[in-house]
Amino acid sequence: MRPHTSRDGDLWGVHVRMKTYSTDTIRNVVLVGHGGSGKTTLAEALLARAGAINRIGRVEDGTTASDTEPEEQKRGISISLAVLPIEWEGHKINLIDTPGYADFMSDVEAALRVADLAVFVVSAVEGVEVQAEVVWRRCAELDIPRMVFVNKLDRERADFERTLEQLRSTFGAGIAPLELPIGQEAGFRGVADLLTDAAFVYAPDGTHTTEPVPDDLAELEHQVHDNLVEGIVVADDDLMERYLDGEVPSVEELEHTLAHGVADATVFPVVCGSAITGVGVDRLADLLGEIGPAPTDRPPIAVRAGDTEAEVKPDASGQPLAFVFKTIADPYVGQLSLFKVLSSTIKTDDQLVNPTSGATERLHGLFVLRGKEQTPVTEVVAGDLAAVAKLSATRTGDTLAPKGTPVTVPPFEPPPGVLGIAVKPRTQADDDKLASSLQRLQAEDPALVIERSDETHQTVLRGMGETHLAVVLEKLARKFGVNVDTEDVRVPYRETISGPAEAEGKYKKQTGGHGQFGVAWLRVAPLDRGSGFEFVDKIVGGAIPRQFIPAVQKGIEETMAMGGVHGFRVVDIRVECFDGKYHPVDSSEMSFKMAGSLGFREAMSKAGVVVLEPVSLLKVTVPAVYQGDVMGDINSRRGRVQGTETVGGGEQEVSVTVPTSEILRYAIDLRSMTGGRGRFTAEHSHYDVLPAHLVDKAKASLAAASA
Ligand SMILES: Nc1nc2c(ncn2[C@@H]2O[C@H](COP(=O)(O)OP(=O)(O)O)[C@@H](O)[C@H]2O)c(=O)[nH]1
Ligand SMILES: [Mg+2]
């Protein structure tokens, strides 16, 4: 975003005043689906049709209302969600355009948290693609009402029937077509509405005229109409009885019953059109108002206050409550928080508390966002979406509640951070700003995980994939002027001993006047994995004076941290100091620290050293057909299968332990192995002995690090 305040809204072009809508006339509609299916273009068409924009932008030109960030325009894809409200026939429809690529799923997740209906945009050319399947499964888990817009019917090789068949076989019986296309490919010019038995034929400006259904379609239309009516009336016993008695249900009755099925997420209407030619676009908007669930049609939201749970309904009465579903980091105006009002009405200058951070937040300027255009408002009713700038301590997923009522909505699940990259600031200035800038980026992007390891001395960014991480680095440079180089993530190898040994550590130095002298005899023995370090003082008879024994221990500990024989951190060793010598004048803490260090190194080499490698617990969830491939691949990565479990939806969860060094790029490999249908989590499990033939490779990574 460019510098601005909510007052100089003129910078943002059209200044639209929007009237206030009551909760039951609000529709929060998220556009979801695979990348390239036409979500952003459809949003643009809806905005234009509703008169919210004067000119239809194009994804290719970077001129759409939703793809406003340079990182989106450069790639021609949506990366973050965009809220795009339109006013349509007495309704305020808050469209939320979302990304369609797996790397940016966290914004889809955020949008699903506030949506009351998900419209799946499916290309009639490409059909049902993987990201549509992934989001459908997520919507089913969250019980979100769904419908489908079959898009691109104007394109060559578009096929409505084939797409419909695919929708049925992928998503099941609830799929209910409400329309049939009139004409094909370049000849696609309208839709036949199965509820009203009428045809809508479109002019180039996106308006339509109502006509009788064309003859060549009439027979099919009647048949599908009857199927649809039967499909709808079964949901209502009374209507069903009257239908069987020969009564023809009215369109209003059918719509009413259909709306119930949609709200219950048992019926998933399918409509069709083209976001480019505008066919079917206004019909979609009509339908969102007519059968799309209002916030009041959805189940109440579960909130927590300490140990107690409660439910919140989007009532005008009750306490003001808001949920922050998205944060945008702006280097000039600070952060912008997008929120949904869960209950009551929120007004300018309201003071609410963020129970998570404990901060009291005053909501200075409230505004409605449309893409990046801001329109100031004075109040926001329950169920509606709006934004506020400059909250002091509120992050994505936080709740804003009245003072004294510390309720919170369940936060987002932490993202898996499946792919890592290490970053190195280029200059001192970059270094100074790196940590704080990353923190601000993380506030807008909950899928970004930042780790600083003092074992490998790396700052590691973890994200959802290569494109996600590339975008993070671009934003870091663009928004905060911080430039970094990248390198592979290093694995924190460690070393330990394979047997017992003893050695003398002797430090003696005679330079000019007063010298250094200390001798410590050490006995080392391996400890169980994960035990760390144990120091045993076995000195008797004052062979080393009491006050110098801690120095021996310190010398050993520093050597372990600095790196042992191979240069890796040393662990799981017990050291006994059982004898020594001192000099009444030359001995000092310094000389015994050195003696401890020297004796320890000597004892380690005598004992024999093994390198340890971190092992991860990996849980891979894939459709059952990929299970064999996944297990075979894990074997080739020195992994061990721990078990498999059926997790529902035809998916299997495979648990394996596998050396961490073998799965650094697993996010990329699993995606290509499963066509994007697999997902996984990985966490550190334990350390295990690195096979001897791999030690040189491990040391090479360390050498590269210190180069
Ligand atoms: N012919 C045709 N092209 C479309 C249609 N909808 C989208 N497109 C094109 O498909 C490409 C991807 O569209 P976009 O809106 O970015 O898809 P998104 O990734 O789902 O947001 C762009 O080149 C659009 O111009 C349509 O209905 N017909
Ligand atoms: Mg898009």
CA nearest ligand 1 atom 26, residue = 152
CA 618 vs CA 171, 188, 431, 655, 678: distances in Å: 29, 49, 33, 6, 13
| Nearest atom within ligand 1 for CA of residue 58 | 25
**Over the Cα atoms of the chain, what is R_g?**
32
628 Cβ contact list (under 8 Å, min separation 6): none
Closest Cα partner for 289 from 147, 143, 191? 147
Is pLDDT of 706 > 80? no
Amino acid letter, 67? D
The pLDDT tens digits of the residues spanning 293-351 come to 999 999 999 999 888 999 999 987 788 999 999 999 877 777 899 999 999 999 999 99
Q: How far apart, in whole angstroms, are the C-alpha atoms of residue 104 and residue 115?
A: 17
Work out the pLDDT band at 68, boundaries 50, 70, 90.
very high
pLDDT (0 to 100) of residue 330: 75
The pLDDT tens digits of the residues spanning 15-56 come to 456 777 999 999 999 999 999 999 999 999 999 999 999 999
The pLDDT tens digits of the residues spanning 137-147 come to 999 999 999 99
pLDDT (0 to 100) of residue 392: 86
Cβ of residue 181 lying under 6 Å from some atom of ligand 1: no
Average pLDDT over residues 564-570: 93
Distance of CA 393 to the CA centre of its chain: 21
Q: Are 505 and 522 in contact (CB under 8 A)?
A: yes
Is pLDDT of 124 > 80? yes
Cβ of residue 179 lying under 6 Å from some atom of ligand 1: no
> Closest ligand to 66 CA?
2
Structure tokens at 149: 């817009």
Cβ of residue 622 lying under 6 Å from some atom of ligand 1: no
Mean pLDDT is lowest, of 61-65, 198-202, 313-317, for: 313-317
Instruction: Give strand pairing partners of 190.
Output: 182, 201
Cβ of residue 274 lying under 6 Å from some atom of ligand 1: yes
Residue with tokens 């992994």: 639
| Nearest atom within ligand 1 for CA of residue 273 | 27
Cβ of residue 100 lying under 6 Å from some atom of ligand 1: yes
CA nearest ligand 1 atom 8, residue = 38
Backbone angles phi, psi at 333, to 5 degrees: -95, 5
Question: Collapsing DSSP states into helix, strand and coil, what is residue 672?
Answer: helix
Distance of CA 371 to the CA centre of its chain: 20
Distance of CA 198 to the CA centre of its chain: 43
Structure tokens at 479: 């928004």
- Which of 41, 104, 108, 272 maximizes ligand 1 atoms within 8 Å of its Cβ, making it the mutation to test the pocket? 41
Work out the pLDDT band at 528, boundaries 50, 70, 90.
very high
Is pLDDT of 602 > 60? yes
pLDDT (0 to 100) of residue 397: 92
Amino acid letter, 180? L
Q: How far apart, in whole angstroms, are the C-alpha atoms of residue 130 and residue 51?
A: 33
Average pLDDT over residues 213-238: 87
Whole-number Å distance, alpha carbon 314 to ligand 2 midpoint, is 30
Cβ of residue 273 lying under 6 Å from some atom of ligand 1: no
Structure tokens at 629: 């491939």
Cβ of residue 67 lying under 6 Å from some atom of ligand 1: no
Is pLDDT of 207 > 80? yes
Is pLDDT of 7 > 50? no
The pLDDT tens digits of the residues spanning 361-402 come to 999 889 999 998 899 999 999 999 999 999 989 999 999 999
Work out the pLDDT band at 707, boundaries 50, 70, 90.
low
Cβ of residue 57 lying under 6 Å from some atom of ligand 1: no
